[in-house]
Amino acid sequence: MENNKNKILVTGGAGYIGSHTCIALHEAGYEIVIYDNLSNSSKEAINRVSSLIGKPIEFIEGDIRDAESLRKVFTAHQFFGVIHFAGLKAVGESVAKPLMYYSNNVSGTITLLEVMAEYKVTNLVFSSSATVYGDPETLPINESSKRSCTNPYGQSKLVVEHILEDLATSNKQWNLINLRYFNPVGAHTSGQIGEDPNDIPNNLMPYISQVAVGKLTKLNIFGNDYPTVDGTGVRDYIHVTDLAKGHVDALRYAEHQTTPVGFMPINLGTGKGSSVLELVTAFAEVTGQKIPYQFTARRAGDIASCYASADKAKQLLGWEATHTITDMCADTWRWQSMNPYGYKAS
């Protein structure tokens, strides 16, 4: 077995946030092994990350629910820790297929934690979501705000958070850094990697960029009667490159603890909310593209406003988002216009 304390297992590393994080990890001097079943990603993303960092990346195609396959990976490599992105993330699909979501997101995480425990790898960075806060009672949302979810996707994240809390209580060896992402958008500045949704996007930024590139005709804005600045929903959009850097900082934080921290929830957001109309206007201005839109009914399950207090990330990790909405729009557009069909050739 190799002995490399700088080595990180990245589950779901072929996906949107994982691929950007692999670049940030490489730049910070970590060695990466990607483990992904490619259920929502393609090998082309890994090829592009390899060419951006200028060296091949070790990739194992496998499912996090497959303990034997994971054991082979943990036997072959000695990891300092795991960044665990692997999971399913479409809210609507989770309502239609709850068992698939609980199986992937909850059972898969349990299997991964069991194998980590067997191999005494006790540093984990987990992809949680601001969705665990449900409809917030106060803004900005801090890490002690009440948690509640209304759909199976959100529930699966919340259940994993509870599992991690119980695990930390039962055994004091764990560093379980639980990152709650707000709304990740944008792409690597090279335009080589970015978000590549299957079918019609559910999320706002990829929908806007597909309208801009002519794949979709117009944006439906879900509701203009919210109690917000202009009646449209407000969210805390965060550039994926800032998010990626947050994972590196979380690992460094775990590395520097003399006593393990147990379960540590940390928001990753900018602390600033933008409305749908503000994002549409910014995208049109930055890119020079027209974004036709119409107002439609509110989307079921949507909330009016959601933005983070990012103070804890700054205090504990020394992390702060640096990219603006303009950067987010420009980088999304570069990726979308250079890759109108995403990672597919056409």
Q: Token digits for 131? A: 């969705």
Long-range contacts of the stretch 297-301 (C-beta < 8 A, 24+): 297/222, 297/223, 298/222, 298/223, 298/225, 298/226, 299/222, 299/223, 301/91, 301/150, 301/151
User: Do residues 11 and 82 touch, judged by C-beta distance below 8 A?
Assistant: yes
Is 101 designated active site? no
Q: With binding defined as CB under 6 A, does residue 71 bind ligand NAD?
A: no
- Name residues contacting ligand NAD, limited to 180-209 (CB under 6 A): 181, 184
The one among 8, 9, 14, 208 contacting ligand NAD by CB under 6 A: 14
Backbone angles phi, psi at 75, to 5 degrees: -75, -35
Whole-angstrom distance, CA of residue 161 vs CA of residue 132: 9
Number of chain residues interacting with ligand NAD (CB under 6 A)? 27
Q: With binding defined as CB under 6 A, does residue 147 bind ligand NAD?
A: no
User: Do residues 220 and 236 touch, judged by C-beta distance below 8 A?
Assistant: no
User: Do residues 87 and 10 touch, judged by C-beta distance below 8 A?
Assistant: no
Q: What is the CA radius of gyration of the chain?
A: 19
Q: With binding defined as CB under 6 A, does residue 154 bind ligand UD1?
A: yes
Query: Which residues sit opposite 235 in a β-bridge?
Result: 274, 306
Residue 31 vs 161, nearer CB to ligand NAD: 161
- Name residues contacting ligand NAD, limited to 17-46 (CB under 6 A): 17-18, 36-41
- Of 205, 187, 217, 191, nearest to 338 (Cα)? 191
The residue whose two tokens read 């600045």 is: 229
Q: With binding defined as CB under 6 A, does residue 85 bind ligand NAD?
A: yes
Number of chain residues interacting with ligand UD1 (CB under 6 A)? 21
Residue 165 contact partner, candidates ligand NAD, ligand UD1, none, CB within 5 to 8 A by sort of partner: none
Residue 6 vs 324, nearer CB to ligand UD1: 324
The one among 94, 122, 123, 129 contacting ligand NAD by CB under 6 A: 129
The one among 207, 253, 283, 307 contacting ligand UD1 by CB under 6 A: 207
Whole-angstrom distance, CA of residue 71 vs CA of residue 98: 27
Interacting span for ligand UD1 (CB under 6 A) from 7-15, 78-86, 104-112, 213-221: 213-221
| Catalytic member of 153, 181, 226, 307 | 153
Residue 104 vs 131, nearer CB to ligand UD1: 131
Question: CB 172 → ligand NAD: shortest distance, Å?
Answer: 26
Question: CB 273 → ligand UD1: shortest distance, Å?
Answer: 10
Residue 97 contact partner, candidates ligand UD1, ligand NAD, none, CB within 5 to 8 A by sort of partner: none
Whole-angstrom distance, CA of residue 101 vs CA of residue 154: 10
- Name residues contacting ligand UD1, limited to 93-112 (CB under 6 A): none
Q: Alpha helix locations (H) across the chain?
A: 16-27, 43-53, 67-76, 91-96, 98-101, 108-118, 152-170, 204-212, 240-255, 276-287, 311-312, 325-338
Whole-angstrom distance, CA of residue 129 vs CA of residue 89: 10
Interacting span for ligand NAD (CB under 6 A) from 15-23, 47-55, 114-122, 137-145: 15-23
Residue 31 vs 36, nearer CB to ligand NAD: 36
C-alpha distances out from residue 162 to 71, 172, 283, Å: 25, 16, 38
Catalytic annotation, residues: 153
Q: Which residues bind ligand NAD (CB under 6 A)?
A: 11-12, 14-18, 36-41, 63-65, 85-89, 104, 108, 127, 129, 181, 184
Q: Which residues bind ligand UD1 (CB under 6 A)?
A: 89, 91, 129, 131, 153-154, 183, 202-204, 207, 219-222, 233, 235, 276, 299, 301-302
